[in-house]
Amino acid sequence: MNRIEQLRLSGQLPSPKGVGLAVLEICRRDDATLDEVARVVQSDPALSSRLLRLCNSARGGGGRPIASIREAVLRLGMSTVRQVAIGFSLVDQYLEGSGNGSGFDYAAFWSHSLLMAVACHELGGLARAAPADELFACGLLAQIGSLVLATAYPADYGAILTEQHGDEALLAQERDRLGADHNEVTAAVLTDCGMPHALVEPVSYHERPEAAGFSQGSRPYQLVQLFFLARRMADLGRSPIAERNGHIAELMRLGGRTGLDAGALGEVFDQVVRQWQEWAELLKVPAAPLPSFDAMANAPLPRPQQEADSVATRRRVLLVEDEPTSRLLTEALLSHLLDCTVFTAENGRDALAVAVEVLPQIVITDWLMPVMDGLEFCRALRATDWGQSMYVIMLTGAETDEKLIQAFEAGFDDYITKPVNMRALGARMRAAQHYTSLLAAWENDRAQLKQFAAELAVSNRRLEHAAMTDLLTGLPNRRAGMDALQRFWSASQRTGQPVAALMIDVDHFKAINDQHGHAIGDQVLQAVAQAIQAAARKDDSVSRIGGEEFLLVCHDADARAALLAAERLRRMVRELRITVANVQVQTSVSIGVANRENGMEEPDDMLRAADKALYAAKKAGRNRVCLFAGGRTHCATSNAA
């Protein structure tokens, strides 16, 4: 018996109580009615107010407010009312926790879950992958497995929580110690609550959408991406200030993939936060006030001292000093008291070789040295791309204005007078560390912007391709076909080469749909599309321009060549034998052909001529090719198989 079955049999899987349980039991009956559900809901004022709020929040500000519980139940539907009632019942039961010593923060859990629920509801209204009200329930219970494990196994789960985990490590620890991870438990709870598998499966993968294996563009794919984005919005809303920059960067990447730019994403997030705080007051769940998305995205970076507390990396410092005693003393101060990784050199020439190898963040160099002095060394550094961003401090015994001006003009950022004083060195190093922290943050932001731009370019290319592609056949759609027709027409005008348009229509397609169903009709269209593509030359343009209509545009094809191509295509389609589920379907096409002729002023003139020829082919008995030329239609006398 697996762990989930043990939890189910022991009664440790959470279940609703009171009115939530009554709603669940009514909805399980085959003869349940919405009136019965409405009467039970009305007996609980808290549940009634929550359902009314959910129902009215879905209106988007349009229409009259709904004040009747019966109307709300009718609007939401029995399935959504059941799921939401169960979710609210579990919030009420487990909001205060069980005092079991697991260390699991029940109030924070429900605050995060409620924020994710509101985000799912708001994003659902944009994506329309599923009813927004059902997505609210999914978001509210998407992480219920964690609560179940913390409640059922407080000691074991408390031990897991005391360790630092990434998402993958946490799941592995849960499976290793408890026999099931929180996503598996969540799926079991949602299934017991009557949630459809079409929603349960995407929810169970919402932390790792890449592991789901859903085909891109499918409904499960859209749902799991929506849940993932909503989860990350909730993470941002509940994160401490120091972690917000990382969450915002990830949200902007995810938003770019789903077509939300920074401005639109910020508007959605701010709306989610407003609704979350209103819901939190209704459910008695904590919800801290948050600044706007724009304010968080543009917040100043943490100060160096705050970074030093959280970042364990040591600054790389190159110390260039020819006097051994001074070099050893300064190296000791930098290494032991200021926690830097120190590299040393005795003159500017050796220092350049070390700098190329280790790329120090901070350079401290004496002015007067043999072979290459500090000024020459600094100028040489600044002449390189990699040396321009280093923070360079000069050691000098002379502090005259002329000497300092000369040093700063050579590219120094600061100076320290010799002999080196610990307090002065510490003060200069704090300024240098502040600079390097800002530089690192800027370089990180620049890398993220490059990544955003690359992902946005990929997303735009995908959207552009989708906008120009017929989803059923994979051929270019009407818009793409008309663009290709215009290009071929313009090229023909420039070069004088002929161009031909072939209008192709599947014969008796309505009868195929009526007799065999639309699924087989779709298979027929796909097979015909493949045949047209196979018959076309490499540089010809094939597109689907209507239900069962296709367009083939042939460059450098006179009337004879176009007729030969059309006849070859007609024969290929006639020889097709399409078998689906033991049903064999044979079909044919009628083809109208036209060339660009004198007197035609635009591509539509040639297209209308090809359409007239197609009409003639249909009228002449179908499964044939006709040509419109010189103002007349010419059709083949027979339609040989």
Please tell me the predicted confidence (pLDDT) of residue 312.
Answer: 42
Using CB atoms within 10 Å of the CB of residue 365, give its burial: 0 to 12 exposed, 13 to 18 middle, 19+ buried.
buried
CA distances from 543 to 105, 458, 483, 496 (A): 58, 24, 10, 24
pTM: 0.50
| Crossing angle between the packed helical segments 603-619 and 478-495, to the nearest 10 degrees | 120
For 213, the token pair is 């294996």
Question: For 598-641, how does the pLDDT look when each residue is reduced to its tens digit (9 = 90+)?
Answer: 889 999 999 999 999 999 999 999 999 999 998 899 987 655 55
Cα separation, 223 vs 205, in Å, equals 10
Cβ pair 504, 536 in contact under 8 A: no
In the numeric block, the tokens 């591509």 are attached to 603
The number of C-alpha atoms within 13 Å of 256 and in the hemisphere containing its C-beta is 19
| Domain-wise residue ranges, the chain | 14-94, 99-295, 307-440, 478-635
> How many other C-beta atoms can be found within 10 angstroms of the C-beta atom of residue 333?
19
Please tell me the predicted confidence (pLDDT) of residue 454.
Answer: 67
H-helix or E-strand spanning residue 81: helix 78-94
Please tell me the predicted confidence (pLDDT) of residue 212.
Answer: 83
Cα separation, 276 vs 272, in Å, equals 6
CA distances from 57 to 48, 64, 79, 121, 132 (A): 14, 12, 18, 9, 10
| Crossing angle between the packed helical segments 132-141 and 45-57, to the nearest 10 degrees | 120
The CATH superfamily of 478-635 is Reverse transcriptase/Diguanylate cyclase domain (3.30.70.270)
The number of C-alpha atoms within 13 Å of 576 and in the hemisphere containing its C-beta is 26
Fill in the amino acid letter for 8. Answer: R
**Fold type of domain 99-295:** Hypothetical protein af1432 (1.10.3210)
| Contacts (Cβ under 8 Å, ≥6 apart) of 145 | 181, 182, 183, 184, 185, 186, 187, 188, 189
Fill in the amino acid letter for 599. Answer: G
Cα separation, 595 vs 553, in Å, equals 10
**DSSP letter, residue 315:** P
DSSP string, 162-175: HS---HHHHHHHHH
Cβ pair 104, 97 in contact under 8 A: yes
Q: Which residues of the chain, if any, have pLDDT below 70?
A: 1-3, 7-16, 58-64, 96-102, 164-166, 256-262, 298-313, 454, 457-458, 581, 637-641
Please tell me the predicted confidence (pLDDT) of residue 1.
Answer: 44
Q: Which of 261, 145, 126 is nearest to 206 (CA)?
A: 145
Cα separation, 564 vs 554, in Å, equals 12
Cα separation, 381 vs 351, in Å, equals 10
Q: Which of 178, 174, 248, 168 is nearest to 208 (CA)?
A: 168
SS3 49: helix
Cβ pair 529, 506 in contact under 8 A: no
Please tell me the predicted confidence (pLDDT) of residue 590.
Answer: 95
Strand order in the sheet with 391-396: 341-345, 316-320, 362-366, 391-396, 414-417
SS3 591: strand
Please tell me the predicted confidence (pLDDT) of residue 526.
Answer: 92
Q: Which CATH architecture has domain 307-440?
A: 3-Layer(aba) Sandwich (3.40)
Please tell me the predicted confidence (pLDDT) of residue 7.
Answer: 66
**DSSP letter, residue 476:** B
